C-alpha cells in the first residue's frame, strides 16, 4: 500500500469515464448474498434496526450539511441501495429519486418501498446522472457510495453531474473518504477486519479511491482548468476521522 497508489491524479477534461460494469457486478453480488451487511456493516442485524438506522443517519447528515427537509422539494439520492435512507428522505421531501448502479439493489428497494408513491428508482451506469434532467432537483444526497467508486475520475464525474442536476439555489451533501494518513490507516484496518471475517472487501469496488482535495474542489465548484457547467460554492465538512462531506450550493 502506498499513497500514490490510492490517489489518482485529477484529470482536467470533463470527458466521462466508461460505464462502471465492475461496480455493477460487485454490488449485484453483494445484494444477492447479504445486502444489509454490505450497506451498513455496523447497523444491520434485522430489518427494523436497519431502517431505523437509516432514519437516524439521514437526520444526522442532513443537519451536518445544513440541508433542511422540504415537503415541496425533490431530493435525489445517489446509491440508494435497498432504500434504507430513501425511505427516510421520502418522509422529509415531497418526492425522491433513488439511483443505483446495481439492479439487484434496486429490486430490493422496490420491495422495501412498496406502497410509497413519491419515490422513483433509476438504474444508473455508475458514473453519471443520466436520466435526471438538468436543474431538476432541490437536494442531492449520498452516503457511503462515492467512497466505493473505484476511480477518482468516477467520483469527480458525479460531482460535476450534481451541479448539472441541481436547481439554482439547490444544495447537495455527498460523503467521500477523508484523505489523512489516519483515515487511510483506519480504512485499511476495517478492510483487514472484514477480510478476516470472510468478506471480500479488498475489491476495488469496495475500497474505492481517494481523491485529492484540489480535484474535489475543482469538480464540485466548476472552477479550474477544463471545468464547465454551472458554478457552485463548495465546503468540505469532515465527520469523524474517516469521512468528509462535500457540500455543494448552486447559486440562486
Ligand atoms: C454501502 S451501500 C449504501 C446504500 C445507501 N446509501 C445507504 O446508506 O443505505 C452503497 C450503495 O451504492 C451503490 N453504488 C456503488 N457504486 C455506485 C456507483 N458508481 N453509482 C451508483 N451507485 C453505486 C451500491 O450498489 C450500493 O447500493
Domain at 74, CATH number: 3.40.50.150
| Residues 89 and 67 sit within 8 Å (Cβ to Cβ) | no
How high is the mean pLDDT of the chain?
A: 91
Average pLDDT of the residues in 126-138: 97
Report helix, strand or coil for 77: strand
Q: Is residue 3 part of a domain?
A: no
Q: Is residue 14 part of a domain?
A: no
Does residue 8 lie in a domain region? no
Give the pLDDT score at 43: 66
CA proximity to 126, closest of 239, 8, 17: 17
58-62, 180-184, 215-219: segment of lowest average pLDDT? 180-184
Query: What is residue 17's predicted lDDT score, i.e. its pLDDT?
Result: 52
Q: Give domain status of residue 11, yes or no.
A: no
| Residue of minimum CA distance from atom 14 in ligand 1 | 79
The total number of structural domains that make up the chain: 1
- Kindly report, residue by residue over 65-110, the tens digit of the pLDDT: 999 999 999 999 999 999 999 999 999 999 999 999 999 999 999 9
Residue 15 lies in a domain: no
**Residue 243 included in any domain:** yes
Q: What is the pLDDT of residue 225?
A: 87
Per the domain annotation, does 32 fall within a domain?
Answer: yes
Query: What are the pLDDT digits (tens) for 27-60?
Result: 999 999 999 999 998 766 799 999 999 999 999 9
Q: Is residue 239 scored above 80 in pLDDT?
A: yes
Grid cell, residue 93, equals 421531501
Confidence of residue 14 (pLDDT cuts 50, 70, 90): very low
Q: Band of the pLDDT at 132, cuts 50, 70, 90?
A: very high
Q: Where are the alpha helices (DSSP H) in 86-224?
A: 86-92, 103-112, 152-165, 181-196, 204-207, 213-221
In three-state secondary structure terms, 34 is coil
The pocket around ligand 1, CB under 6 angstroms, is made up of: 20, 23, 27, 39-40, 54, 78-81, 84-85, 100-102, 105, 124, 126, 143-145, 148-149
On whether residue 189 sits in a domain, the answer given is yes
Q: What is the pTM of this model?
A: 0.93
Task: Please give the residue range of the domain that contains residue 52.
Answer: 21-250
Give 121 Cα–ligand 1 centroid separation in angstroms. 13
Q: Identify the CA nearest to 176 among candidates 134, 136, 234, 233.
A: 234
Atom of ligand 1 lying closest to residue 24 CA: 25
Amino acid at each position: 500500500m502506498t499513497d500514490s497508489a490510492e490517489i489518482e491524479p485529477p484529470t482536467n477534461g470533463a470527458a466521462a469515464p466508461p460505464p462502471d460494469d465492475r461496480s455493477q457486478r460487485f454490488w449485484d453480488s453483494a445484494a444477492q448474498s447479504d445486502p444489509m451487511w454490505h450497506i451498513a456493516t455496523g447497523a444491520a442485524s434485522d430489518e427494523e434496526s436497519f431502517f431505523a438506522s437509516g432514519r437516524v443517519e439521514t437526520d444526522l447528515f442532513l443537519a451536518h450539511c445544513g440541508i433542511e427537509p422540504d415537503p415541496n422539494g425533490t431530493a435525489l439520492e445517489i446509491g440508494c441501495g435497498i432504500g434504507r435512507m430513501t425511505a427516510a428522505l421520502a418522509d422529509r421531501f415531497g418526492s425522491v429519486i433513488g439511483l443505483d448502479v446495481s439492479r439487484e439493489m434496486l429490486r430490493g428497494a422496490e420491495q422495501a418501498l412498496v406502497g410509497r408513491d413519491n419515490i422513483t428508482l433509476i438504474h444508473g451506469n455508475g458514473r453519471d446522472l443520466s436520466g435526471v434532467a438538468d436543474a431538476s432537483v432541490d437536494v442531492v444526497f449520498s452516503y457511503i457510495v462515492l467512497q466505493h467508486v473505484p476511480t477518482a475520475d468516477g467520483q469527480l464525474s458525479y460531482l460535476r453531474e450534481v451541479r448539472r442536476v441541481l436547481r439554482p439555489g439547490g444544495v447537495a451533501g455527498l460523503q467521500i473518504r477523508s484523505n489523512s494518513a489516519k483515515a487511510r490507516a483506519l480504512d485499511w484496518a476495517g478492510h483487514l477486519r472484514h477480510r478476516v471475517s470472510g468478506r471480500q472487501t479488498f475489491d476495488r469496488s469496495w475500497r474505492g479511491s481517494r481523491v485529492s482535495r484540489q480535484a474535489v474542489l475543482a469538480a464540485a465548484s466548476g472552477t479550474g482548468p477544463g471545468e464547465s457547467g454551472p458554478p457552485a460554492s463548495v465546503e468540505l465538512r469532515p465527520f469523524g476521522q474517516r469521512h468528509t462531506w462535500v457540500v455543494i450550493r448552486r447559486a440562486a
